[in-house]
Chain A
Amino acid sequence: MSAVLELRNITKRFGPLLANDDVSLSLAQGEILALLGENGAGKTTLMNILFGHYAADAGEVRVHGQPLPPGKPRAAIDVGVGMVHQHFTLAGNLTVLENVMLGSEPMRRLRSARGAARARLMTISQRFGLPVNPDVKVSRLSVGERQRVEILKALYRDARILILDEPTAVLAKPEAEQLFETLRGMTEGGLSLIFISHKLQEVMAASDRVAVLRGGKMVAERTTSNTSPEELAELMVGRRVDRPMRHAHAIGGPVLTAEDITVTKDGETRLEDASFRVHAGEILGIVGVSGNGQATLGALLSGLVHPASGKLTLEGRDVAHLGPRGLIRAGVARVPEDRHAEGVVGEMSVWENAVLERLRSASFSARGFVRQRAARAHAAALIQRFDVRGATPETRVRLLSGGNMQKLILGRCLATGPKFILANQPTRGLDEGAIAAVHEELLAARAEGAAILLITEELDEALALSDRLQAIVKGRLSRPVDVEAADARRIGLMMAGMWGQDDAA
């Protein structure tokens, strides 16, 4: 089989960071290649170079034997390369048709040929089994529907080589399986595919070949049928990183109780009749595919939104209408979903970020003035105790790596000995080493008697850390299930919304 695509010796630097180090890769006609690696391995950078979002510092890309001019998405599109981005490149305020049509007509044309474009879109939509309504604004679509539009965009431009970046990150298991079926059908129709993933099961099930990236280097290529998840895991991480184990222990009384909580925003119900109870010394895992209400649940427990109805109590005290400051004072610690956007102020120093939440307490301020020495000392202690590398109290937080930033955030939460911890996607975007560190801290806090609510999209993580699990689908929570009684299959079904009447919470 001839190679339709070749990447030769691609190297790319961002400042001191070497994202891709002399990487070579090839894709054969009609093949599905999986690009595997942990977070930060350089997979997305490599594909961005292929598509032209970045230009490589060295190396070249060849499509059908012809070199591709670097740094121009237009060149890639013109030779039939299409990309389905992890974070969709769609404009919410415009319609599906407009998003798909953009760039397909010459600019000098005096009138857009909408009718023809609509017809063409519907033909492609039907042919590949990706139904859409062309005249709906993208902002009104569900995440799964938006992904369909993102794929159709590429197919509309006659893509013969399709790159998909973490395509199942936003899909439930059944939808993910449906997607791969569709993709397999496409290859039978002449397309060649690369998909990026960090999920071993998916890679094993859906690909013909696997290429493994680690630390910016291509470390291995395997034919999928000739390898195993264990081998891939070891290739991906390069050493044995054992994630810490949870040990069963006695669970205390209830700390945080939520009863029939409903949260609405802009007229839409984001969380409906949600009930859960977290006990001292327990981790309650809330699993679900992204976009099902996790953000709202996180905001609720962070004090940023308040319930329209229902009760929220902390050790018997009503906390439903407390803001972030009130919750912090009541002994609630929160690890936010998005550390860059919400967790830290990047341009401020480590010590300022370390005490920002607690500035008004007597420990760090006196009569309106900041007690800088105390704050700096506290930051130094955090850096020491939680192994935050590359940081001094004066360092600008922006310069820390994702893992170290997360350790700092976790550290500032845990240092106060909180009663309740909200851990919202605590290991998103982290490499294996950082993930292990975060898990260790959470388990240590659990051992000390903290009540922890873990919101996560990674089933493995939920199963490893939680004492009990609840699934979240479309803003509703399932009944809690003891982790011993749960198996991956049952939880997978719950995450897809398939729970029996007796499972509903």
Chain B
Amino acid sequence: MTDALEILLNTSLWAAVLRIATPLIFGVLGEVLCERAGVLNLGIEGIMTMGAMAGWLTVFLGGDLWTGLAVAAASGALIGLLHAMLTVPLGLSQHVSGLGITLFASALSYYLYRLIVVVGETPPTIVAFQPVPIPLLSEIPFLGAILFTQTPPTYLALIAVAVLAYVLARTPLGLAIRMAGESPQAVEAQGLDPIAIRIGAVVVGSALMGVGGAFLTTAAFNSFFPEMVQGRGWICIALVVFSGWRPGKALLGALLFAFFDAYQLRLQTVIEGVPYQIFLMAPYVLSIVALIAVSRRAEVPEALMAPYRRGER
């Protein structure tokens, strides 16, 4: 018992929480942006996979890590554009399109990887992002090792939360995005184009998802293999509901989830006799429970999943 509690005092646990949370933060922010504008993006799992592959591949082929992230964002954006075109101007089922996108993007990323990389016994690796301690702040006891000694993409994630929260709440663009998710008719009646707004939101949101995937292959680990996203994308979908479609709460949800994941990993070494699968199951079970708990009070954007067709009688 005390072993289980002792883990909580370990800075490495909390540093891991932030590290594990990072791809989730990017993923949830991206999905929040899509859904706030009224589009459900079930392609997130595939987009994160594509981002993971594209980011890693760029570095493997000689690019630097930041270029890798940029390529991951671009690949996410492109796939997001496909989903946006299918669901917004064409108004196709957001559920089915998203599923198709996930299947497609995953398959495409595995195919391209296999095509370009010669696979031997073990998958090839790259030199990943290293933790960058922030001068002065990283010397603070306990907090310094946790919050201020992370890899650059983690800092980026935290900044992204603040930026998205600000844009949504305080800028004209943010108001337009929120309105597109509540009433595209209202958007049109005020002279704006709800279709363009929705497409833009999905593209940018998908770019964020791509970066989240790339974190897995350029910071958390340093190689790519099929199924490495492991359902994180789907967890992000659950976290979006849990976060009430707000960036600030999304950060909280991601951290909470990451805590349980990190804790579960360390508990395995301390608690004996329990099959490791039980520990691995815990995060998924937790997500379902959290979803049920919050569903009653969920304030869903009113026009989420309702396609908007101009001039249709």
Contacts and interface: CB of A to CB of B under 8 A. Distances in A.
Contacts of A369: none
Interface in A50-100: 53-54, 72-74, 76-78, 83, 85, 89-94, 98-99
A77 B302 CA distance: 26
A101 interface: yes
Contacts of B311: 53-54
A85 B189 CA distance: 9
Contact of A105 (B172, B188, B189): B172
A106 interface: yes
A166 B173 CA distance: 32
Contacts of A270: none
Contact of A91 (B186, B188, B313): B186
Contacts of A101: 172, 175
Most buried by A among B185, B186, B188, B311: B186
A398 B244 CA distance: 37
B192 A103 contact: yes
Contact of B190 (A77, A94, A107): A77
A157 B191 CA distance: 11
Contacts of B170: 111-112
A291 to B, nearest CB: 19
Nearest to B167: A110
Given A54-B311, A89-B185, A73 B191 contact: yes
**6 pairs of A and B residues whose beta carbons are closest in the complex:** A74-B191, A103-B190, A91-B182, A89-B189, A91-B183, A105-B172
A94 B172 contact: no
A153 interface: yes
B183 A90 contact: yes
A107 B176 contact: yes
A102 interface: yes
Contacts of B192: 74, 102-103
Main secondary structure of the interface of A (DSSP, over half): loop
A103 B302 contact: no
Most buried by A among B171, B185, B190, B299: B190
Main secondary structure of the interface of B (DSSP, over half): helix
Given A90-B183, A92-B302, A103-B187, 4 more contacts: A74-B191, A78-B191, A103-B192, A106-B172
11 contacts: A53-B189, A77-B190, A89-B183, A91-B183, A93-B299, A102-B179, A102-B187, A103-B191, A106-B172, A112-B170, A112-B171
Contact of B302 (A83, A91, A112): A91
A240 interface: no
B83 interface: no
Interface size class of A (residues with CB under 8 A): 20 to 34
A102 B175 contact: yes
Contact of A83 (B182, B189, B299): B189
A103 B192 CA distance: 6
A111 B179 CA distance: 17
A304 B161 CA distance: 44
Contact of A110 (B171, B186, B313): B171
Contacts of A105: 172
B176 A102 contact: yes
Contacts of A112: 170-172, 175
B90 to A, nearest CB: 19
Contacts of B183: 89-92
Contact of A73 (B173, B190, B302, B313): B190
Interface of B: 170-173, 175-176, 178-179, 182-183, 185-192, 299, 301-302, 310-311, 313
A89 B184 CA distance: 9
Contacts of A104: 190
Most buried by B among A76, A99, A101: A99
Given A14-B313, A92-B302, A107 B189 contact: no
Contacts of A14: 313
A14 B299 CA distance: 36
A373 interface: no
A39 to B, nearest CB: 14
A54 B310 CA distance: 8
A103 B188 CA distance: 9
B297 to A, nearest CB: 13
A111 B188 contact: no
A107 B172 contact: yes
A305 B296 CA distance: 20
A103 B179 CA distance: 10
Given A73-B189, A102-B190, A94 B182 contact: yes
A109 interface: yes
A360 B198 CA distance: 44
Nearest to A92: B302
A98 B186 CA distance: 11
Contact of B186 (A53, A77, A89, A157): A89
Nearest to A12: B311
A92 B181 CA distance: 11
Given A107-B173, A109-B171, A112-B170, A94 B179 contact: yes
A89 B182 CA distance: 11
Most buried by A among B183, B188, B191: B191
A90 B186 contact: yes
Nearest to A88: B186
Contacts of A92: 182-183, 302
A243 to B, nearest CB: 28
A77 B179 contact: no
Given A54-B311, A93-B301, A102 B186 contact: yes
A89 B186 CA distance: 4
Contacts of A74: 191-192
Nearest to A52: B191
A83 B185 CA distance: 13
Nearest to B189: A89
A106 B191 CA distance: 12
Nearest to B193: A74
Given A89-B183, A91-B186, A77 B178 contact: no
A421 B191 CA distance: 45
Most buried by B among A93, A111, A153: A93
A144 to B, nearest CB: 19
Contacts of B191: 72-74, 76-78, 103
Nearest to B191: A74
A180 B242 CA distance: 47
B172 to A, nearest CB: 4
A93 B313 CA distance: 26
Interface string A177-210: 0000000000000000000000000000000000
Nearest to A19: B313
A76 B179 CA distance: 20
Nearest to B187: A102
Nearest to B311: A54
A246 B295 CA distance: 52
A98 B179 CA distance: 9
A101 B179 CA distance: 11
A94 B173 CA distance: 15
Contacts of B188: 53, 73, 89
